[in-house]
């Protein structure tokens, strides 16, 4: 999963420009399976994801989708902007960057 801010208008705002924070998930063949652009561009990626219907569904451990992901040992892979959970795999801080 990745979140990106997409530029919308040549009209400048105080933070630089107007944008949407776009969240997207693709499969192993790089085909998009899900996308949302509901949050303002200044939103943190994890906040933007939590505000989506999918993010809210996955927070509910009793929901059949969340239960199936966890039961089948599947997860969504995301970058370090997201918090690790039973359904979300993120890299460990400093991993692979040469940090001691």
Q: With a cut of 70, say whether residue 47 has pLDDT above it.
A: yes
* Mean pLDDT within 17-44: 85
pLDDT tens for residues 77-99? 888 888 888 888 888 766 555 44
What is this structure's pTM?
Answer: 0.69
H or E segment to which residue 36 belongs: strand 32-40
Q: Which has the higher per-residue pLDDT, 36 or 14?
A: 36
Alpha-carbon 27 to chain mean position: 14
Q: Which has the higher per-residue pLDDT, 81 or 7?
A: 81
Residues sharing a CB contact under 8 Å with residue 97, sequence separation 6 or more, in sequence order: none
Residue 81, token pair as written in the block = 């902007």
Residues sharing a CB contact under 8 Å with residue 53, sequence separation 6 or more, in sequence order: 36
């Amino acid at each position: 999963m990745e979140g990106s801010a997409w530029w919308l208008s040549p009209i400048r705002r105080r933070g630089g420009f107007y944008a949407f924070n776009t969240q997207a998930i693709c499969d192993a063949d790089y085909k998009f399976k899900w996308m949302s652009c509901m949050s303002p561009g200044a939103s943190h990626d994890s906040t933007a994801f939590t505000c989506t219907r999918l993010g809210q569904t996955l927070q509910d451990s009793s929901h059949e989708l969340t239960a199936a992901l966890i039961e089948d040992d599947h997860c969504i892979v995301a970058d370090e902007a997201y918090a690790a959970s039973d359904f979300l795999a993120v890299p460990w801080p400093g991993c692979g960057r040469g940090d001691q």
